[in-house]
């Protein structure tokens, strides 16, 4: 199983396009996803969004907010305007309080309430969050400075709201990342293969 997954991931990144450093946030979601609301999103700094790593990041945990400039977290916030705005926050953590490293993390649960042997994963935003999460994520790039501040990140994730796989939201976040961005056809192949692999419900973190 482990070697099968590594083969799938290797195929993804060998067939991906090499790009310069990118920053973007994207997701697709089911209609029953409380956080995603059935929406598809792709935003970058050029679209008027800021990407804000938390000051509380550590080698074990990262939190990064993506927010429109007119949101409560942006410089153009004007609560009296009534204009729509967006914000999302993504939290990731490695199990056993170990450093986050490149690899695949399965059997994730809501951060910071996951068990010690589980990765943490939480995407919330626009005043919506789940009481319970399950899911998985793949880190293809992550770097910190000597103090644990986030320098770069590339992650693909799938979160199931309330642990219900029909309430899915799947996305990617690149922050100052030079990791390859898979072509759309490659991502479709990856999604099909990975869903089949996850369908066997590997119930332990393959990194440990």
Assessment of whether the complete model's pTM goes beyond 0.85: no
pLDDT, tens digit (0-9, with 9 covering 90-100), for 164-182: 999 999 999 999 999 988 6
Give the per-residue pLDDT at 182: 63
Place of tokens 């898979």: 182
pLDDT above 70 coverage of the chain, percent: 78
What are the extents of the domains in the chain? 2-12+21-198
pLDDT digits (tens, 9 = 90+) for 102-160: 999 999 999 999 999 999 999 999 999 999 999 999 999 999 999 899 999 999 999 99
Residue of 154, 155, 141, 135 lying closest to 205 (CA atoms): 135
3 state SS of 85: coil
Distances (CA, A) of 95 to 92, 99, 101, 113, 164: 10, 9, 11, 12, 22
pLDDT of residue 4: 38
Is residue 97 pLDDT above 50, yes or no? yes
Residue ranges of E strands in the chain:
22-29, 41-43, 49-53, 61-68, 87-93, 103-109, 120-125, 133-144, 150-161, 168-177
Q: What is the pLDDT of residue 20?
A: 86
């Amino acid at each position: 199983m482990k070697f099968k997954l590594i083969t799938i991931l290797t195929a993804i990144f060998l067939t991906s396009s090499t790009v310069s450093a990118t920053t973007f946030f994207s997701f697709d979601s089911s209609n029953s996803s409380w956080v995603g609301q059935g929406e598809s999103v792709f935003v970058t700094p050029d679209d008027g969004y800021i990407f804000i790593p938390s000051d509380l990041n550590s080698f074990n945990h990262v939190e990064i907010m993506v927010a429109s400039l007119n949101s409560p977290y942006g410089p153009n916030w004007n609560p009296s305007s009534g204009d729509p705005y967006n914000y999302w926050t993504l939290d990731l953590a490695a199990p056993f309080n170990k450093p986050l490293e490149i690899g695949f993390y399965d059997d994730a649960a809501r951060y910071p309430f996951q068990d010690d042997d589980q990765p943490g994963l939480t995407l919330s935003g626009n005043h919506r969050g789940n009481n319970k999460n399950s899911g998985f994520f793949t880190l293809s790039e992550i770097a910190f400075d000597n103090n644990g501040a986030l320098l770069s990140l590339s992650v693909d994730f799938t979160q199931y709201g309330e642990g219900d796989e029909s309430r899915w939201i799947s996305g990617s976040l690149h922050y100052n990342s030079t990791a390859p961005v898979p072509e759309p056809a490659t991502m479709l192949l990856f999604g099909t293969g990975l869903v089949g692999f996850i369908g066997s419900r590997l119930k332990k973190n393959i990194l440990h």
